[in-house]
Structure 1
Amino acid sequence: MIRYFVFLLFIQSCLITKSHSKSIIRRLPGYDGYLPFKLETGYVGIGEKEDLKLFYCFVESTRNPKEDPLIFHIPGGPGASALFAMLEEAGPLTLISDNLTLTLNPYAWTKMANIIFVDIPAGTGYSYAETKQGWTSSDTILAAHSNEFIKKFLIDHPKFLRNPLYISGYSYTGIVVPKVTLDLYEGIERGEQPPVNIQGYILGSPLTDKFMDINSRFEYAHRMALISDDIYKEAIDNCDGNYVDINLANLVCTNSLRSYEECTSHINVDHILLPFCNKSDPTLDCEFRMSKALSKWANTDLVRQALNIHQGKVGKWVVINQTLHYKYGKSDTICYSYDIFSSFSYHKQLTSKNCRALILSGDHDFTFPHVGTEQWITLLNLEVQTPWKPFYVDDQVGGYVTEYAQNNYSLTYASVRGAGHTVVFFKPKESMVLAQRWFSSQTYSSDS
């Protein structure tokens, strides 16, 4: 309580109007009528000169916004726009690609949480910079800017200061989210203002270690019968456990991995059972079709006006900025440095905090397979509270859950049956049920 009153004094000294522009959005092109939820969009200025302008969409919980959790969501990539997460994953609306209409998402996480969807870094979605320096970022800078955004947002929205705060992300931001979370905990310990109520983090199919997760694809390929026992055994015997950084002088290993590459190079890494997507074939129903529809919607003048995008500052909206997007082995670019190789140490440090973690993996994800995720979770050396067991949705097995703990730290890991890389996109109901039970600390064996 004392910290809260200290913050009230602190907030009076802050010129928040300089860094923050916002609007309440009541209608959106494609949706028939007024939005049945509170949507706020705006820009937050980041940096000493506030030359980085980060665009966000903030959706209040339709249940109890005063008490429900506050989720700060960092999309993957880096360079993936938060608009995809809001309209195709956990947000309150879904875009219908055939006619660009919007419908309510029955499995929206905003039914149980307030969510901030942010485009970060500059060059992502509708975010931009006013100086050359503002266009430059890295994993560590992205984490610092996320921390700054959260604090400025809460200064401007003090009624959410006491809500339980969770940092979420998927895919590449598994590298960043644990650091953001740890930085917030350490900031509280130092007495930083505002006094955020950080409670934990949520990750979907996260990249955690840039070697371990990519290397685990080989083991996963064998488990899913993408490669034969002979290919697997030959590589196991000759590659010394390294299936990524290949020693070209080791010809036996090289030949084994050449066979592995031949067997897997035309597998859809986002979901191994779906067609291998080819942009030149419009008949394939894959992510390119959805991305094209979302791009068309997001670039219309009516949409940009409705969202109050800064005119003349933002170019064409894209689902993911390929200049920023990471692929294994990619060198730093002129605008982004991939300077965190592994976030495992941040996870490890968080085990000493009063912290909760929810980790979701799709069992058909070949991008960052569940095999690698389970490896680093094991390395945390946590006590197993609830061994691997099924969870049920509509009387069917939705996947499998293991619960871990150490002192005041707890981690819930769920392998979601039939899900690909973006778990919430492929299995929205199962994901929502997992989140609901996790937030309310219900048992996972019960049906929903």
Structure 2
Amino acid sequence: MLSLVSIFVLFIGLGNSKSTIKRLPGYPDDLPFTLETGYIGVREHENVQLFYYFIESENNPSEDPLLLYLTGGPAVSGLSSILYQIGPLSFNLENSWKKNITFDLNPNSWTKMANMIFLDAPAGTGFSYAKTWEALKSSDSILALDIYEFLKKWLLEHPKFQRNPLYVSGISYMGLLIPIVVSEIYNGNECGHEPIMNFKGYIMVSPFTDKVADYNSRIEYAHRLALISDDIYKSTVINCKGDYENTNQENQLCAQNLQRVDECTTGINLENILMPKCSLVNPEPYCPDATHVFLVEWANNKDVQNALGIREGTIETWEYSNIANRYDHGKNDTIMYSYDVLSSFEYQQQLTTKNCQVLIISGDHDMVVPYVGVEKWIEALNIPTEIPWKPWLLLKQIAGYQMTYVHKGYSLKYATIKGSGHVVALAKPKELLSMVSGWLASQTYSSISF
């Protein structure tokens, strides 16, 4: 969280800035990849300063796709995705638990196949900040516009990447925002706004799409995975009329059914129902939430902040997630953030008329955004099926299932990853990399006029 002092610090004349990072505390040698960090100012007077991390592809940076990757929450730092999930470094857990925070190279990094931009957004997240109190306020819809403005300015500052195939990607809550950002990109290109982006499509992992439908799907998912019995499920469907979010308080039978559901699922780790529920009181190395303490300690180290090029005085304490902005089930708007996008389905529908390639990925043991809800909204798009449901393989083993929908220039591939939860990269990093890299490699690119 920003202190009142740091919120009102004005950085007049600083403008955008960037630094190439050669070394980082915790890694013993020069970084074996190209890392750039910097700030891009958005909104009026550039009062919001968004901090980014850009990592060039370790394969062929001049031709490989450029992916903007958006971390969920909202208001979870991009460092989480870089150091825990799909970036080129990962914590050495054995050393870190011994208070010696060090990194290993991640063999399943997405930088093996693509240039990656990670972002701290909105302001107040990670190392991003606002120059004024008013600029610190945000919402889903404002954040989507901020991200689009950021991307335009970033490409103007990095002209050599303007020809690379561009994708917007992200996880979880960003499923509500990514289709809005993508729509802004198409609108900007059609209106001739500079820079014209060589945009190809988007990738969403475990995506929220509709806050009511996704939560409603948890009941059906719990039944399919034997967390609730046939009796509980059938009674709940009948008494609640299939709507478990907008229930009538006078409907006592529905309330009783939902209480029985809660009794059966409260002790479940919703992010991955196969894993124990995380305890921060007595954490174990397998507990992802507990290992975030390494990231907090590392990112608050002054040597780390100097190495990353952080502007002194812009933040007081670095936090993994800005709790004031982060969404929880049923959370109301706060003074700082409005959760004003309830569904991105209409945007997804509109995008089916574009030349757009889409990849949607679900872990089949994710109860935060269950695959059953994702399948329903994809089916509701009414796009013809080109390739029906079938298994996909990795090392001659079934890694999950997939199907593909196509209509004219629009294509959507939906894939599940077997045994994975909400944060797919934690449980099945090899499978995730295989699916994304294979899908990107299957795209045929045609250049556009610049």
Interval of TM-score (by shorter of Structure 1 and Structure 2) = over 0.9
Give the corresponding residue for 2:21.
Answer: 25
1:21-52 alpha-carbon deviations (Å, 9 max, x no partner) = 00000111111211111000111111120111
**Deviation at 1:284?**
6.8
**Deviation at 1:19?**
3.4
Give the corresponding residue for 2:337.
Answer: 336
**Deviation at 1:288?**
2.2
Distance 1:379 1:134 in 2: 38
Give the corresponding residue for 1:60.
Answer: 56
1:379 aligns to 2:355 (yes or no): no
SS in structure 1 at match of 2:382: coil
Distance 2:123 2:403 in 1: 37
Give the corresponding residue for 1:400.
Answer: 401
Structure 1 stretch 396-405 or stretch 238-247: which is displaced more? 238-247
**Deviation at 1:18?**
5.7
**Deviation at 1:408?**
0.4
Distance 1:30 1:282 in 2: 22
**Deviation at 1:319?**
1.4
**Deviation at 1:295?**
0.9
Pairwise mapping of residues 225-236 of structure 1 onto structure 2 (< 5 A)?
225-236=226-237
2:63 partner amino acid: E
1:210-243 alpha-carbon deviations (Å, 9 max, x no partner) = 0000110000000000001110111122111111
What is the RMSD of the two structures over their aligned residues, measured on CA atoms? 1.2
Distance 2:147 2:238 in 1: 44
Distance 1:425 1:182 in 2: 30
Distance 1:430 1:173 in 2: 21
Give the corresponding residue for 2:71.
Answer: 75
Distance 1:425 1:277 in 2: 14
Give the corresponding residue for 2:368.
Answer: 367
1:79 partner amino acid: A
SS in structure 2 at match of 1:19: coil
1:125-150 alpha-carbon deviations (Å, 9 max, x no partner) = 11111111210111111111001100
1:36-76 alpha-carbon deviations (Å, 9 max, x no partner) = 11000111111120111111100000111111110111110
**Deviation at 1:307?**
0.5
**Deviation at 1:117?**
0.3
Give the corresponding residue for 2:448.
Answer: none
Give the corresponding residue for 1:428.
Answer: 429
**Deviation at 1:278?**
2.3
2:406 partner amino acid: A
Moved segments of 4+, more than 6 Å:
none
Distance 2:290 2:238 in 1: 42
Give the corresponding residue for 2:243.
Answer: 242
Distance 2:425 2:383 in 1: 26
Structure 2 contact 213–373 (Cα < 8 Å) conserved: yes
1:72 partner amino acid: L
Distance 1:115 1:282 in 2: 32
Distance 1:284 1:313 in 2: 32
From 79, 86, 93, the counterpart of 2:89: 93
Structure 2 contact 56–114 (Cα < 8 Å) conserved: yes
SS in structure 2 at match of 1:247: coil
SS in structure 2 at match of 1:367: coil
Structure 2 contact 284–290 (Cα < 8 Å) conserved: no
Distance 1:331 1:244 in 2: 14
SS in structure 2 at match of 1:168: strand
Distance 1:159 1:284 in 2: 42
**Deviation at 1:328?**
2.2
Give the corresponding residue for 1:291.
Answer: 292
Give the corresponding residue for 1:107.
Answer: 108
Give the corresponding residue for 1:173.
Answer: 174
Distance 1:190 1:200 in 2: 18
Distance 1:407 1:147 in 2: 26
1:273 aligns to 2:274 (yes or no): yes
SS in structure 2 at match of 1:260: helix
Structure 1 contact 275–284 (Cα < 8 Å) conserved: no
Distance 1:170 1:265 in 2: 24
Calculate the TM-score normalised by the size of structure 2: 0.93
1:62 partner amino acid: E
**Deviation at 1:255?**
1.0
Distance 2:363 2:397 in 1: 16
1:422 partner amino acid: V
2:243 partner amino acid: N
Distance 1:432 1:76 in 2: 19
Give the corresponding residue for 2:8.
Answer: none
**Deviation at 1:283?**
3.9
Distance 1:93 1:363 in 2: 26
Cα 1:322–1:119 shift into 2, 3 Å: same
SS in structure 2 at match of 1:381: coil
SS in structure 2 at match of 1:237: helix
Distance 2:421 2:284 in 1: 21
Structure 2 contact 285–291 (Cα < 8 Å) conserved: no
SS in structure 2 at match of 1:40: strand
1:344-385 alpha-carbon deviations (Å, 9 max, x no partner) = 011111101110111110001010111110010000001111
1:301 partner amino acid: K
Give the corresponding residue for 1:446.
Answer: none
Distance 1:224 1:212 in 2: 18
Distance 2:53 2:284 in 1: 33
1:386 partner amino acid: I
> Which runs of 5 or more structure 1 residues have no equivalent in the other structure?
1-16, 443-448
1:381 partner amino acid: N
1:25 partner amino acid: I
Over the matched positions of the two proteins, sequence identity in percent amounts to 50
**Deviation at 1:293?**
1.2
> Which runs of 5 or more structure 2 residues have no equivalent in the other structure?
1-12, 444-450
Give the corresponding residue for 2:155.
Answer: 154
Distance 1:399 1:116 in 2: 27
Distance 2:285 2:372 in 1: 29
SS in structure 1 at match of 2:86: coil
